[in-house]
Amino acid sequence: MAVIEVSQLRKSYGGNSAVDGIDLRVERGEVFGLLGPNGAGKTTTVEILEGHRRRDGGEVRVLGDDPDNAGRRWRARLGIVLQGTADAPELTVREIIRHVAGYYPAPRDPDAVIEQCGLAEKAKSKLRTLSGGQRRRVDVALGIVGNPELLFLDEPTTGFDPEARRHFWTLIRGLAADGTTIVLTSHYLDEVEALAGRLAILAGGRIVAEGTPQDLGGRTAESTVTWQDADGAHRVATTDPTALVAALSRREDPSLTELRVERRSLEDVYLELIGEVR
């Protein structure tokens, strides 16, 4: 069942097209990544899906409703983690999370959320005393405490150290396993590759590629095999690296060393795709 259905979505500002005919479908329970450079239309698209911005054209259904006309009950089914949120510097971590939980009909246990987000040691600390990474964890906690069916994560791990990022990845995988649908925007391509089952790349207001992180842009279509032997260095592009490696292995050549099989990274594909639009 689709949680998000978008057809020919359009939005312009002052005659400039920010979103130019996007089609998009996100299934229930999946983690969907949305990538693109600044100005590609990501923020506008997500704001329309969240009901925070009206579209100029196209059809949009989120959790079965049109965000332009949806009410409070519909909004209670969403969780949103923005790049920056309004502060309440004199409240403690526990106070603000419990306060926000009170707005939802069936919230998650605030103390359990505090624990999940790695904030147990800071539960009694005022927000103004937190570091940037700790404050970002509070943002994530506020986004999930309402027990949302659909969660929007906009650059959620900005300011996280590597250990905190990996802890967050575990949290997101757990939410997805429990049936939460997640839309993730991030400039960390390794994060999207680790978490998203599918993704789309936006450039110039259009979707220029869509698929799994593994096959996007034909990543698996061709690999490069490199090795050294008595004749020097070799580099061969092939669609069947297994066969080439097997053939090289049968040579039983003692001078054959540094055998590697490489494929284009997600970053390579991403830069290539957005470069074509620019």
pLDDT tens digits in sequence order for the chain, 278 residues long: 799 999 999 999 988 899 999 999 999 999 999 999 888 899 999 999 999 999 999 999 999 999 999 999 999 999 998 776 657 888 999 999 999 999 999 999 999 999 988 899 999 999 999 988 888 889 989 999 999 999 999 888 887 888 888 888 998 998 899 899 999 998 888 899 999 999 999 999 999 999 998 888 776 667 888 999 988 999 988 888 889 889 988 888 888 989 988 877 888 888 888 876 55
> Could you give phi then psi for residue 221, rounded to 5 degrees?
-70, -35
DSSP string, 195-258: H-SEEEEEETTEEEEEE-TTTGGGTTT-EEEEEEETTEEEEEEES-HHHHHHHHHHT--TT-EE
Q: Cβ neighbours of residue 231 under 8 Å, at least 6 residues apart?
A: none
147 backbone φψ class: left, alpha, beta (φ>0; ψ -120 to 50): left
Domain boundaries, the chain: 1-77+150-155+180-213, 79-148, 222-264
Strand partners, 257: 228
Q: Please tell us whether the domain made up of 1-77+150-155+180-213 is placed in CATH 3.40.50.300.
A: yes
pLDDT value of position 267: 84
Side by side, which strands form the sheet with 150-154? 78-81, 150-154, 181-185, 31-35, 198-203, 206-211
The confidence score (pLDDT) of residue 150 equals 97
pLDDT at residue 276, as a whole number: 64
What pLDDT, on the 0 to 100 scale, is given for residue 155? 85
Closest listed residue to residue 83, CA positions, set 159, 167, 189:
159
Residue 134 phi/psi, 5-degree rounding, is: -65, -40
Handedness of CA 269, 275, 276, 278 (dihedral sign): positive
* Contact predicate 199/206, CB 8 Å: no
Q: What is the pLDDT of residue 269?
A: 83
Question: pTM value?
Answer: 0.83
Cα–Cα distance, 100 to 5 (Å, whole number): 29
Q: Rounded distance, CA 193 to CA 177, Å?
A: 17
